[in-house]
Amino acid sequence: MYYDYGIIGGGPAGYTAAMLLAKKGKSVVLFEKNQIGGTCLNRGCIPTKALLHMSEVYRQTIESSNIGLDIEVKNFDFSKTASKRDLIVEKIRKSLELAVKNSGVNIIYATAEIVDDTTILADNVNYKIGKIIFAAGSKPRELEGLECDHEFILNSDDVLKITKLPKSVLIVGSGAIGIEWARIFSNFGVSVSLIEYAEHLLPSADIEVSKRIERIFKQQKVEFYLNTTIKNIDNKTVKLSNGMVKNPEVILSAAGRVPLSSNVNNITTIGDSCGEIQLAHFAIHQAQNLVEGIDFNKQLTPAVIYGEPEIAWVGLREQDCKDDCEKITLPITALGKSWCDNCTEGFIKLITKNNCILGAHIISKEASALIHEILIAMENKVSVNDLKKVCFAHPTYSEGIFEAICRL
């Protein structure tokens, strides 16, 4: 059985490459050992964003008295929340699977083994392949001394399987996974403690973003400890390196993910497996670049962390700047829309040089959309002066970009 292309892994990198190649008239077989959609759809982006939304609805309902509503929550069944999350994932997955099949790609649901650079073995069948693309993704990182038992110590895959909320959780790591799960659990009324090895929360972000998230967590009574690790665990009693002792119902290890490798030469690797930026949109653009030759600037890959308020950034951070850069920080309170929405926490921060935007860092409602307005300008080298010519609607969060550049 021969195919022009054999792709291992049905995540964003794999299914994007498969459909683009099929569109070009190539014969393509896609191997997926679990479910199409990869980590993003099944164990990452989509289910966590669904839970974030539902947790925010829960919190807003509890706090609704501030707008004149008198609502008493008599019962909350998290198992129904989990079922709703799973239904959302299933609907998207079925739609994606249909799109891939309709594109002409043959999907084989089986573990695939690369025999050599022209042969893939799956379900005892040898597939002869013109070119192999490896896009098997990644798996949760395990820290030494914090190996997951999938009951008390959970990883980011395990936590999406719970059907009952714990009373307390200790989260290890404050990257995207740690921050979003701290928000989910806190919104649902779970007692949250978070520890971070670095000096600040969200260490990959701009320093001003990290400090603001710390302030927001303090306001929301999300407990966190910086420059801290787990010293030892004894019968579910956790001693931290700072001397604190915790007795959480569960621990969530949110230490990121590690790429799965093929250990075979002469094949192309894309997506999380290539060990670069582990984001679905980066993987999609890698596939697009591979198949269609559409180039993209990896340095302008946006990062987004969801919840209220959203966090987004792209480009140069303040701590990376030289003295010849300018910066402006506009508080979200300057925008009338933020007061209307009761979402006044955050800022829009721009870093510029020679009339061009080099970096943008946003904490705000709709930050995930705002960052792309700035990114389009950065990608196309639109000057600050030219951006001032754009008429931004009022009242919106987008006009914050205009307000910011007018203050430079």
Select from 3.90.1300.10, 3.40.50.620, 3.30.70.240, 3.50.50.60 the CATH code of 2-140+257-292. 3.50.50.60
Confidence of residue 377 (pLDDT cuts 50, 70, 90): very high
User: What per-residue confidence (pLDDT) applies to 102?
Assistant: 97
Q: Do domains 2-140+257-292 and 153-253 have the same CATH topology?
A: yes
For residue 359, which of 327, 403, 398, 323 has the smallest C-alpha distance? 327
Instruction: Give percent above pLDDT 90 in the chain.
Output: 92
Confidence of residue 266 (pLDDT cuts 50, 70, 90): confident
Cβ partners under 8 Å of residue 83, min gap 6:
none
pLDDT at 87 over 90: yes
Sort residue 86 into left (φ over 0), alpha (ψ -120 to 50) or beta.
alpha
CA 153 to centroid of chain Cα atoms: 21
- pLDDT (tens digit per residue) in 98-127: 999 999 999 999 999 999 989 999 999 999
- Contact status, residue 39 vs residue 11, Cβ threshold 8 Å: yes
Domain boundaries defined on the chain = 2-140+257-292, 153-253, 302-406
Beta bridge partners of 305: 311
User: What per-residue confidence (pLDDT) applies to 264?
Assistant: 83
User: What per-residue confidence (pLDDT) applies to 265?
Assistant: 80
User: What per-residue confidence (pLDDT) applies to 263?
Assistant: 79
- C-alpha distances in angstroms, 318 versus 209, 272, 313, 326, 351? 10, 27, 12, 10, 7
Torsion of CA 157, 279, 371, 201, to 10 degrees: 60
What's the mean pLDDT in 198-218? Answer: 97
Phi, psi of 373 (to 5 degrees): -60, -45
- Contact status, residue 361 vs residue 206, Cβ threshold 8 Å: yes
288-303 burial, b at 16+ Cβ within 10 Å, e below that, comes to bebbeeeeeeeeebbb
- pLDDT (tens digit per residue) in 146-196: 999 999 999 999 999 999 999 999 999 999 999 999 999 999 999 999 999
- pLDDT (tens digit per residue) in 19-56: 999 999 999 999 999 999 999 999 999 999 999 999 99
Question: What CATH topology corresponds to 302-406?
Answer: Enolase-like; domain 1 (3.30.390)
User: What per-residue confidence (pLDDT) applies to 74?
Assistant: 83
Structure tokens at 190: 């779970």
- pLDDT (tens digit per residue) in 293-309: 999 999 999 999 999 99
Query: pTM, whole model, 2 decimals?
Result: 0.95
Query: What H or E segment, with its residue span, contains residue 359?
Result: strand 356-364
Question: What CATH topology corresponds to 153-253?
Answer: FAD/NAD(P)-binding domain (3.50.50)
Cβ partners under 8 Å of residue 46, min gap 6:
37, 40, 88, 89, 92
pLDDT at 262 over 90: no
